[in-house]
Amino acid sequence: MPNTIHLKAFGMVAEKIGTDEVEMDHSGNSSELLDALLVKFPELKTVKFTLAVNKKIVNGNQEIPENAEIALLPPFSGG
């Protein structure tokens, strides 16, 4: 049985995919997860968003630990 990961979407990302919580098969790393998200939710291709794992912004590709907390964050503005 594959492990699943739990994702939370915020702001316009949640609006685009129509939900603020998603369960997906555990992908192993952030690049594979992003690819899987774009297959499942093609509308995300039109939105800039940031992936955060355990409250840390992902830069580049990184491993996703089991039971990680994943967030899909919309662009931030302000200063």
pLDDT tens figures, 15-51: 999 999 999 888 789 999 999 999 999 999 998 999 9
**According to CATH, what is the number of the domain 4-73?**
3.10.20.30
Percent of residues, the chain, with pLDDT higher than 70: 94
**What is the C-alpha to C-alpha distance for residues 32 and 77, in angstroms, rounded to an integer?**
28
CA distances from 3 to 13, 27, 51, 68 (A): 24, 9, 19, 11
pTM of the model: 0.86
Contact by Cβ (8 Å): 8, 71 = yes
**Domain map (residue ranges) of the chain:** 4-73
